Each structure stands twice: as C-alpha cells, then as structure tokens.
Amino acid sequence: MSSKNRSVGEQAKEGIFYNALTRLSGTFFQFFSSVILARLLAVEDFGVMQIATMLLGFTTKFGEFGFNMGLIQRREEVGPEHVNTMFWMDLALKLFLFAVIIVALPFLVEYFHEPRLWQVMPAVGVYMLLDTLSNPSSTLLKRQMRFKEQAKIDMLDRVIEVFSSVTLAFMGFHVWSLILSKWLGVSVAAVLTARAAGWRPRFIIDFKASKELFHFGGWVFVRNLCREMAENVDYFWIARHLNTTQLGYYSKAYDLMRLPQKRISQAFNSVLFSAFSRVQDQPEKIKAGFEKVLTTVSLASYPLLIGMMLVAPEFVFLVYGEKWMPMALPLQIMCLAGILRSIDPFLNSVITATGYVKHTAYRRFIEFGLLAGATYIGVQYGIVGVSIAVLAVAFIVMFLMVNLLKRVGAVGWREYLLPQMPAVGGSVVMVIAVMAFRFLMQDFLGANSIWLLLGMVVTGGLSYVGVLWLARPKRVMALLGELSGDIAKYTKKYRKKLAGLAPSASK
C-alpha cells in the first residue's frame, strides 16, 4: 500500500517504529562507545569538544531559519524551486558563519583560555558545512513521511561514527577521534539521503519561494536561537568560570540525562511534527495523539531517569571509572530535570504544527533569560550548583509551555498530567523498592560492587513492571492492546511477503 493511500495515523505509527528502532539501537552502540572513549580519552578532550560544539551550535542557529520545517508544514505542493532555494540560502548562510568562526577564533581562544580551539573549531565548522548537504533531501523524506528510509540512513550514520571514533581513539587521535568520526558519518548520510529522495542540487533561487519560507521560518529561527542559547548557557558559564575538566564532567552527566529525550522523545517527535501538521485543523485528533504519545514516552522515560538517579554513584564508578566520580551528583540532580525535558518536545510540536510558532519563540526567550541568570548564580557553587539551577528552570518552563497550550486551545493540564500518572505510580514503587534493596544488601554485597548495581537494576525493573501489571491502568492496557494489534498486522503482512517469496525460491 502506497503512502498516499494510508492514513496519517498509520504512517505516523510506522515512522515512530522505525525511528524508535534506529534510535534505541543507536543508543546501544553510542553508550558502549562512550564508555570506551571515556576510558581512552582524557576528561579535558570532552571538555574542549563541548566548547567547540557549543560555539558551533550557537553560530549555526544564526543560519537556521526553519526553512526545512516550513517545507514540512506547508499545505501546498513543494516544487524544485522551494527545495533548491532552501539549499542555496542555507549553504550561503553556513559559509558566511564559517568565515565568522575563523575571524572570531583569536577572541574565543583567549576568552576560554583554551589554545586547542585553534585547530578544533575550524574542523568542527567543516562538519557544519557537510551537514548542510543532507538537509534538503532529508526534509523531502520527512515531508513525504518516508521514515523507514530516513531511519536506515540515520542508523548507518551512527554506526559509522561510533566505530570510527573508537578506532581512531585506539590509534591515539585523542580529541580528533571525536571530530573525524563525525565527518565520516555525515558525509555518507548526505550521499544516501540524496539518493533516497531523488534530489540533486540545481542552481535555482526563487524569490517568491524564499519569501514563503521566511514567513514561516522567521519565528522558528528566533525560537531555535533562544533554545540553543538556553541549551548552552550552562556550558558557557562553566567553560568561562571553571575549566575544561569540570566541563567534561558536567557535559558527560548532561548527555546521560538527555538520552531519553534524544533517543526516545525525538524518535516520536520527528514523526509527530509531520503528522500534526497534516491534521492541524482537527484539534480532537491532535489531542488524542498527544495523550497517547505522552503515555508511551512517560512509561519509558520515568523508569530510565529515576533509575539512573538511584544507581548513579555505582553506575559511574563501575562503568566510567573512578576518575569520573565527580559527575555522579550532578547526574542525579539533572535526572529529575530530564523527566520534564523528555516531555517538552511534544509541547513544542503541537504548538508549532498548529501555527503558533511565534508564541513558542517568546517562551524560549524567557527560558534563556531564566537559565542564564540561574546558572550564573549556580556556577559560583560549581557544577552541582549549575545542575540545581537547570532543575529549577525546567519546572518553570513546564508551567509556561502547558499554559501556552491551554491558550491556543490544543491541550490543557488534564491532558498533560493524566497520561503520565501510570508512570508516576510505577516510579514511586520503584524508588521505594530500590532504596530498600540498597539499605538491606549494601553491606552484604559491598559498596560500589557490580552485584549491588545489578541487584538494584533488577529490583527496580521488576517492581516497576510488576506494579503496572497488577494495577492494569486503562491507558496502559489500551496502549498494549493497540500495540499487540499493530504487531499482529505487521506480522501477517510480512508472512504474506515470505509466502510469496517461497514459490519463486523453490523454482
């Protein structure tokens, strides 16, 4: 069945499946590679790389006017003039920003007291230019809801980056193992996405198309710029007022906290923006889809983040090594913020898909202001103080975003809170069970022992799943019923394919 003949819901489900499969398997590879790299590379290598990516991310946002989101959200047909105009405008902006990076290098090296930026910043800037090449074709695949092809390419990109970074680190490339691996991955992805989408660059610049893209993308640019500043202001204060070692500890803890958001939430969110854009005039469908996704994501995010918070000291000591122990407490604090952050992308998707992107830009500017002030105060108390500041602001931003959803008439507090209740209940029981296990067994199994860590993980997992199985919340049972139906449908579909292949194989 072609994508044109299938409902938006069916295409969204398939997209979520392939995105989730890609991101979860990618997380598996990336997690183990990060453990190996953490033992092979110095903490300072991660710190200087974080400064470079922070500066690049901030610079890049000046060149991101949301053109790709404008094409995805656009109701009318998208022609070659739109795609090629987007590509050339994007490339021109990125080349200009690359020149800005080179000119600003002396100031950046002096400001952050990090001479290695002389070599690292231009190299990371090249990655920005390479990434531009895949943007048009990737946008076309998402607009057409061809998530299966995009997921395969993303997976290959991640595998190449993971294996090449570990190989280069073993060969003694130090921080360059993190940079060169990104070059390899993004170059392969650019070629494959262009082939899948059937797009080749043509020198077409249409001023009418550019005006249409700017009309939607202008506020996306403001929102993304504010969001990027908010995402990196804590790194900025730590790099300026502490050192690259402390930044290395903090960035590693922050990355672990963001795993559910990056791997689970984004697997859904990249699909849902396309799906919500298709039904932007049908609020009941948006509300039903939002609640279902919130239930699913919270059931996965809550136990992962609460569990990480509970076992952080043992986990860091055994997995990353004793030299990384200063990151354990910041990780525990930020795991609470991670729960709110794992839900946040869906609030943005609903608001943006329904056309209220200007309102999200205002909220993101407020978020940046709050984080800038709070983390500046927090950095006076080290990376623990910064972590507490991030948690406090996450609560404030949650209230702002849900109230905005109420104002635009999409969803309210009821639709936001009720889908999360099964995960909240299961997590409370899990906390009690894990803390009781540690209290009773720590002396017997030994502090920071692998057996204590495994025992806490097993206890937490069994208690969480067990209480949900016993309580059988309606939302969870409905979700499982729908999931089993989808699995049966896809199993039947692939059985027919295999049956069709059998006669030809026998010949």
Helices 421-445 & 450-471, crossing angle to 10 degrees?
A: 150
CA 458 – CA 465 distance, rounded (Å):
11
Q: Exposed, middle or buried: residue 46 (CB in 10 Å: 0-12, 13-18, 19+)?
A: buried
Side-chain half-sphere exposure of 292, counting CA atoms within 13 A: 19
Listed as ranges, residues in the chain with pLDDT below 70 are: 1-29, 58-82, 143-145, 147, 204-221, 260-286, 346, 348-358, 408-411, 482-507
Q: Which amino acid is present at 434?
A: V
What is residue 467's predicted lDDT score, i.e. its pLDDT?
Answer: 92
CA 251 – CA 236 distance, rounded (Å):
11
Q: Is residue 111 in some structural domain?
A: yes
Taking every pair of Cα atoms in the chain, the longest distance, rounded to a whole number of angstroms, is 75
What is residue 403's predicted lDDT score, i.e. its pLDDT?
Answer: 80
Cβ-based neighbours of 97, under 8 Å, separated by 6 or more = 59, 60, 62, 63, 125, 128
- Rg for the chain, CA atoms, rounded: 23
CA 23 – CA 342 distance, rounded (Å):
14
Q: Is residue 492 in some structural domain?
A: no
CA 170 – CA 147 distance, rounded (Å):
35
CA 243 – CA 233 distance, rounded (Å):
15
Neighbours of 223 (CB within 10 A): 24
Q: Is residue 70 in some structural domain?
A: yes
Q: What 3-state DSSP class applies to 41?
A: coil
CA 148 – CA 21 distance, rounded (Å):
10
Q: Is residue 122 in some structural domain?
A: yes
Neighbours of 284 (CB within 10 A): 8
DSSP codes, 437-489: HHHHHHHHH-TT-HHHHHHHHHHHHHHHHHHHHHH--HHHHHHHHHHHHHHHH
**For residue range 335-361, what is the model confidence (pLDDT) as tens digits?**
999 888 887 776 766 666 656 666 777
Which two three-digit tokens encode residue 266?
Answer: 């984004």
The DSSP letter of residue 322 is: G
Q: Is residue 494 in some structural domain?
A: no
What are the E-state strand segments in 44-170? none
Q: Which amino acid is present at 188?
A: V
CA 267 – CA 429 distance, rounded (Å):
28
Which two three-digit tokens encode residue 55?
Answer: 């500066």
What is residue 264's predicted lDDT score, i.e. its pLDDT?
Answer: 59
Q: What 3-state DSSP class applies to 202?
A: coil
> How many domains are contained in the chain?
1
Name the residue range of residue 192's domain: 3-485
